[in-house]
Amino acid sequence: MLNVDNLKKQAKQIVRWHREGYYPVAQRIRAGLPRFRDLDDAAILSHPFALSDAQESIARELSFESWQALRSADLSLQPDARRRGNEPQLLGAHPQLFVSDVEASCSFFVGKLGFIVRFKYGKPAFYALVSRDQAYLNLRYVHAPVLNREVEGDLLSASSPVENVKALYAEYRRAGVPMAQRLKKQPWGAEDFIVRDPDGNLIHFAAAG
């Protein structure tokens, strides 16, 4: 469920990064706003950039035409009666996958798993953010494997709840996605499957609820 207050905070952070000349944010702005698409990083960071621009960028990242459209669709504008004062609130999680080739990994997540590239940074790219719906994954280049899987075994790198997990599994089977575990119902009732990316990272998809 969207939370406009949280998204406003994210927009302010993007403006702050732009003002401070934080280069990775230029890729995000370029990906989110068509009018910045043909500008290089330096040009984007020197271009005037307002809070409304950051809000529009976030709205487009979430597949809305504008910030106004996002606000109209939001279902959580009213404060949660259970929350009081300045209680901390987690705003999500973006697992980081360590990969040997960011471009190849992006191609896999886009072509096989149906994600989109939010941004890439570096030439050659050493960092990227990919997403599908509300699932976000960071891809980070490393020179050598971080885990010795012969010793550590099959460890999950990320997990995502899914609405209609059977349909997603069928989609990935048609796409020829490598499976570390086929769709199955676990003894505790969960229905899930696990895919393996080109670097051996295991991504877990489980029925929501």
Q: Phi and psi dihedrals of 42, rounded to 5?
A: -60, -40
Average pLDDT, the chain: 85
pLDDT at 137 over 90: yes
**3-state secondary structure (DSSP) of residue 128:** strand
End-to-end CA distance of the chain: 15
8 A C-beta contact, residue 91 and residue 194: no
8 A C-beta contact, residue 26 and residue 41: yes
The phi-psi region of residue 16 (left if phi > 0; otherwise alpha if psi is between -120 and 50; otherwise beta) is: alpha
Instruction: Calculate the alpha carbon distances from 80 to 50, 71, 83, 174 in Å.
Output: 29, 17, 6, 42
**3-state secondary structure (DSSP) of residue 185:** strand
Q: Give per-residue pLDDT as tens, 13-35.
A: 899 989 988 877 888 898 889 89
Nearest to 73 by CA among 87, 62, 82, 81: 62
Q: Give per-residue pLDDT as tens, 46-70.
A: 999 999 999 999 888 888 889 988 8
pLDDT at 174 over 90: yes
What share of the chain in percent tops pLDDT 70?
86
Quick one: CA torsion of 87, 88, 91, 95, rounded to 10 degrees? -150
80 - beta bridge partners?
none
Take residue 171 and report the two structure tokens written for it. Answer: 């989609």
What are the structural domains of the chain? Answer: 4-73 (no CATH), 96-141 (3.30.720), 154-207 (3.30.720.110)
pLDDT band with cut points at 50, 70 and 90 for residue 85: low
8 A C-beta contact, residue 57 and residue 18: no
pLDDT at 109 over 90: yes
Q: Phi and psi dihedrals of 154, rounded to 5?
A: -85, 95
More confident: 144 or 76: 144
pLDDT of residue 77: 44
